[in-house]
Structure 1
Amino acid sequence: MTENIQVTPYELAGGETAILSLVERFYFFMDTLPEAAGIRAMHAADLSGARTKLFKFLSGWLGGPDLFIQEYGHPRLRQRHFPFVIDEAARDQWMLCMNKALSEVAMDVNFRENLSQALQQLATHMINQAD
């Protein structure tokens, strides 16, 4: 008898350590890339709260511990982001930082590409203003 063991995207990404690394690199790029200045300006000077929230969100979104929901309730991402002007340029800046961060975290190439595409769809869903 064989067991059907399901592996979550969280595990495929590398678990807590990899997600923490991804978030750290993402905010490093946001904080340092001149081409991400627009998206950086939407954040507080201290990025520690944003780091924590993104880590907790990604953890649950990828099938790991539902840390964000446990602390903050349902993500309601569009609602939470509505106070910010998010257009295609902001989405593209966010994805630039995320793709650079993804490229630095060790994971299967196909999984990385699929994860990037899923994040692109999520980021596109956040758009609330025309360019």
Structure 2
Amino acid sequence: MEATANPKASLYKRIGEDKGVRALVKAFYDIIETEEYARDLNLLHLRGHGVAHSRIEQFDYLSGFLGGPAYYLQNHGHTRLKEIHEHVPIGTEMQDLWLKCMTQAVDVAGLSPALADELMRHLTRAAESARNMD
């Protein structure tokens, strides 16, 4: 699925720009809405503004986070994950569940193993910074 294999290009470009980020976000939210193991994560999203809203916001956030257009920053004025998620409790268990679902989404998106590993390293750090409970 990679749009470019240039290792100096941003992750955003290497996963296929907007199209690739949208595919990743779609796979992620399809997983949390359909997989039984992800039920608690889906319920957490429903406590916020809902999954449809989260699909848009995650696309906007990840685009900038991965080195593409800073849609989330343009719309909200910041990209502080802890503040973005302050309305929902995120402990280690929820963080790990998010990462499990995202790992499956990365697999569904068809990224090469090397690119998937690099992306998940970045997403793991992001998930850790979003945690607001111990």
Q: TM-score, normalised by structure 2?
A: 0.86
Question: How many angstroms does 1:85 deviate by?
Answer: 1.1
What is the identity, as a one-letter code, of the residue corresponding to 2:45? H
Is 1:108 the equivalent of 2:116? no
What is the identity, as a one-letter code, of the residue corresponding to 1:28? D
Structure 1: runs of 5+ lacking an equivalent: 1-5
2:12 aligned residue: 10
1:71 aligned residue: 75
Structure 2: runs of 5+ lacking an equivalent: 1-7
Q: CA RMSD of the aligned region, Å?
A: 1.7
Question: How many angstroms does 1:46 deviate by?
Answer: 4.3
- Please identify, of 34-43 and 22-31, the stretch whose mean Cα deviation from structure 2 is larger: 34-43
Paired with 2:108 and 2:41, the residues of 1 have a C-alpha distance of 21
Question: How many angstroms does 1:19 deviate by?
Answer: 0.6
Paired with 1:125 and 1:60, the residues of 2 have a C-alpha distance of 16
- Assess if the C-alpha contact under 8 Å between 2:24 and 2:105 holds in 1: yes
Give runs of ≥4 in structure 1 deviating > 2 Å.
none
What is the identity, as a one-letter code, of the residue corresponding to 1:70? Q
Identity over aligned residues, as a percent?
A: 27
- Assess if the C-alpha contact under 8 Å between 1:14 and 1:107 holds in 2: no
Is 1:38 the equivalent of 2:28? no
Question: How many angstroms does 1:109 deviate by?
Answer: 1.8
- Please identify, of 16-25 and 31-40, the stretch whose mean Cα deviation from structure 2 is larger: 31-40
Question: How many angstroms does 1:107 deviate by?
Answer: 2.6
1:22 aligned residue: 24
Question: How many angstroms does 1:17 deviate by?
Answer: 0.8
Q: Which has the larger radius of gyration?
A: 1
Higher RCO (C-alpha 8 Å, min separation 6): 1
Deviations 1:19-68 (A, max 9, x none): 10100010011111111111111113842110000001100111111111
How many aligned residue pairs are there? 126
Paired with 1:26 and 1:17, the residues of 2 have a C-alpha distance of 14
1:3 aligned residue: none
- Assess if the C-alpha contact under 8 Å between 2:21 and 2:62 holds in 1: yes
Is 1:49 the equivalent of 2:57? no
